[in-house]
Chain A
């Protein structure tokens, strides 16, 4: 059994000193990339907010132009809360795959390139990587990927990506128990072959066109063994940076099995990236696997997609702490409430009144002008139509409202937004914790990114300063 073999890449003392210096240097906290710390790549999908958004009037200025007047996380925070950005071709979209970009945004992206589009074309962001992949989840249902290796290589090259992933096809039905190339459905094997064939063509094309990006070979497999075999073949083709695809549905122990099998097969100098790493909160347990980089969007997404863990704060030791954000949806915009109004279950005017009461008391609470229980009550009265689709009087004792009350009580009692000094929390105050509309929700997500980046930084430090007990083997691996 191989086991993890991370290398010790930085002198711990120097690193600590360096880190200290970075922290006090203020404005841009460009992290040193000379060392080998794990890179946190943020998977973007037009995650910007309007800096001029007015929380009280609850609106953007009338003349706001989406994208142009909005700010990316690295703009609103004043520094990049990540080491790079990943843009999926599927998010940009084209004539075959409907992306998240509008058609004219997609056109502009392709004309001016990723760095300029993402507004990372400034000296302080020059160290940031721009990763690209195909967004294999967008065409998961198709028999073949819609892109050829040539057109992907051209796409990365013309858009100025620093790293580009080969054209992969996601394999399902993962079986952790299979060894070598055993098992695998016909479909899985077809996708395995497509992925490797594409990787070969992709590398060839990138060389022919003298591409400006580092090609990454994507690993797809149905088991740790098949992934290791894919990795072996990719290395044989000439790749020295591999990306693990299809990890999203896998659990942490399964991902680790794959990493172990791959690490056992490829040279220590081969760099590994995890594509779409949904287990980002569990990253500390992956420290032994010598991952060079991973991309995720989860700290941002969790702000508004998770039922409970919406707001991050650093916790004790190396942990993170989570808080539930307080839902106060827009009475006349929320689809669920609108449906209820259409059916005649609630009067819009009544919902608007309850909404104003909830928002008003939350703000009063923040100014210490309203008590916790009173505030909580107003919030719950307005939550009832959303959660139970009933007036509060008819469901005050419902278990889901009780659970909600419990989590909200914690959030209100601890006032986490007052414990954070990031620009977002300073400017938005209690509004950062209110679950309502893109401008609050994404701000909370961007705050989470900043907390998460610090989290990664602390883990990297810990690894360098306190090597764990398998030090001899690590040193051995590093010397290879």
Chain B
């Protein structure tokens, strides 16, 4: 097989060149050599196994007619290739296919696997690296695949500006958008959320996105966002709720940080997310006043900034709660239990009309 390629002047030890080829052809001249051991325990190969979900996501994208794949598949050769200089950086690459597959895929195996089942004549760029031996080839594999991923919070903040995302990311994108609106519009949380572009914020954006995503998938916002002005109403609901939180616990909110108040900490915010759900679903709370009344029952039972939590026979110092699943679940259970008991009490009281029905809704 021969390809017309461009050669880059990089190293005297190796040759680096680039050309376009069909995915099926790449798989003919390059193999995916998975890491394993032979009977003697000798290590061979280097690639990880295929990741089905990843391949599926890539394939979903590549099936679209406007799909592009600008980053190249990296293939390495140690021998059985020859390069003929055509001048001006152009070269003719000849791959000897007479015996077994001469090249190895160093980067892009999942992309290749996705392309392999695709019914499209899709060409990809191939960066070919001609190295002196196997050891060098393995070194390239480690270097190429050991890059540092972008910070999550940067990616998440960019999501709302990117269209046509895979569903996994588009759900995150909605939550990210709502989080940004809470942080930059006129809401109770304005400036409170720590984002890549708002480093002085206090509440972690990922925590805020978490409670929003949960609400969007199984909670009150699921219905809310589908209606007219859905996003607007979600932002309002969250803002009203946290406005009420500030009113119920002003001393645990104002001037505090996650390490001085559990209310602004990942554990507290997540637990309060559940309190919002209960009040919104069961108590049909929507306004600041609805939420504030609903949380009165919690006022004296919390230890956000000092003292101890007495939960379910478990005693924790105020700062003994961490942002780990178990602690979050414990706090949720405790707070939600109090709110539910209060709602039950009020519901039982409701049928017997009071002399002044508005009196207890001060």
The judgment on whether A and B are partners is yes
Taking CB atoms, residues of chain A closer than 8 Å to B36 are 341-345
Interface-located stretch among B83-91, B249-257, B275-283: B275-283
Q: Are A104 and B32 in contact (CB under 8 A)?
A: no
Does B219 belong to the interface (CB within 8 Å)? Answer: yes
Give Cα distance in the complex from A250 to B281, angstroms.
43
Q: Are B219 and A104 in contact (CB under 8 A)?
A: yes
Q: Are B333 and A104 in contact (CB under 8 A)?
A: no
Taking CB atoms, residues of chain B closer than 8 Å to A338 are 49
Write the A213-245 contact mask toward B (1 if CB under 8 angstroms, else 0): 000000000000000000000000000000000
Taking CB atoms, residues of chain A closer than 8 Å to B281 are 111-112
Give Cα distance in the complex from A330 to B36, angstroms.
20
Please report the total number of B residues contacting A with Cβ < 8 Å: 36
Give chain A interface residues in 330-367, CB to chain B under 8 Å. Answer: 330, 332-333, 338, 341-345, 347-349
Given contacts A104-B214, A111-B277, contact A344 B38 (CB under 8 A): yes
Give Cα distance in the complex from A189 to B57, angstroms.
56
Select B44's contact among A108, A333, A344, A348, beta carbons within 8 Å.
Answer: A344
Q: Are B49 and A95 in contact (CB under 8 A)?
A: no
Select A111's contact among B44, B278, B326, beta carbons within 8 Å.
Answer: B278
Taking CB atoms, residues of chain A closer than 8 Å to B354 are none
Give Cα distance in the complex from A347 to B31, angstroms.
11
Taking CB atoms, residues of chain B closer than 8 Å to A343 are 36-37
How close is A119's CB to chain B, nearest CB, in angstroms? 14
| Cβ-Cβ contact count across A and B, 8 Å cutoff | 73
Taking CB atoms, residues of chain B closer than 8 Å to A59 are 56
Name the residue on A nearest B217 (C-beta).
A104
Write the B213-231 contact mask toward A (1 if CB under 8 angstroms, else 0): 0100111000000000000
Give Cα distance in the complex from A10 to B60, angstroms.
58
Give Cα distance in the complex from A433 to B344, angstroms.
49
Does A480 belong to the interface (CB within 8 Å)? Answer: no
Give Cα distance in the complex from A341 to B329, angstroms.
38
Does B199 belong to the interface (CB within 8 Å)? Answer: no
Taking CB atoms, residues of chain B closer than 8 Å to A67 are 218
Give chain B interface residues in 268-307, CB to chain A under 8 Å. Answer: 274, 277-278, 281-282
Q: Are A105 and B218 in contact (CB under 8 A)?
A: yes
Q: Are A344 and B329 in contact (CB under 8 A)?
A: no
Write the B311-330 contact mask toward A (1 if CB under 8 angstroms, else 0): 01000000000000010011
Taking CB atoms, residues of chain B closer than 8 Å to A348 are 32, 34, 49-50
Taking CB atoms, residues of chain B closer than 8 Å to A332 are 49-52, 55
Q: Are A341 and B218 in contact (CB under 8 A)?
A: no
Q: Are A108 and B218 in contact (CB under 8 A)?
A: yes
Give Cα distance in the complex from A345 to B214, angstroms.
42
Give Cα distance in the complex from A108 to B217, angstroms.
10
Q: Are B60 and A341 in contact (CB under 8 A)?
A: no
Taking CB atoms, residues of chain B closer than 8 Å to A94 are 329, 333
Taking CB atoms, residues of chain A closer than 8 Å to B277 are 107, 111
Give Cα distance in the complex from A46 to B344, angstroms.
28
Name the residue on A nearest B281 (C-beta).
A111
Select A107's contact among B56, B60, B218, beta carbons within 8 Å.
Answer: B218
Q: Are A95 and B326 in contact (CB under 8 A)?
A: yes
Taking CB atoms, residues of chain B closer than 8 Å to A107 are 214, 218-219, 274, 277, 336
Does B22 belong to the interface (CB within 8 Å)? Answer: no
Give chain A interface residues in 61-115, CB to chain B under 8 Å. Answer: 62-65, 67-68, 94-95, 102-105, 107-108, 111-112
Does A264 belong to the interface (CB within 8 Å)? Answer: no
Taking CB atoms, residues of chain A closer than 8 Å to B55 are 332
Task: Give the 7 A-B CB pairs with smallest separation, nearest first.
Answer: A344-B36, A95-B329, A95-B333, A104-B218, A108-B218, A111-B281, A63-B167
Residues of B within 8 A of A (CB): 32, 34-38, 44-45, 49-52, 55-57, 60, 166-167, 214, 217-219, 274, 277-278, 281-282, 312, 326, 329-330, 332-333, 336, 340, 344
Residues of A within 8 A of B (CB): 59, 62-65, 67-68, 94-95, 102-105, 107-108, 111-112, 158, 330, 332-333, 338, 341-345, 347-349
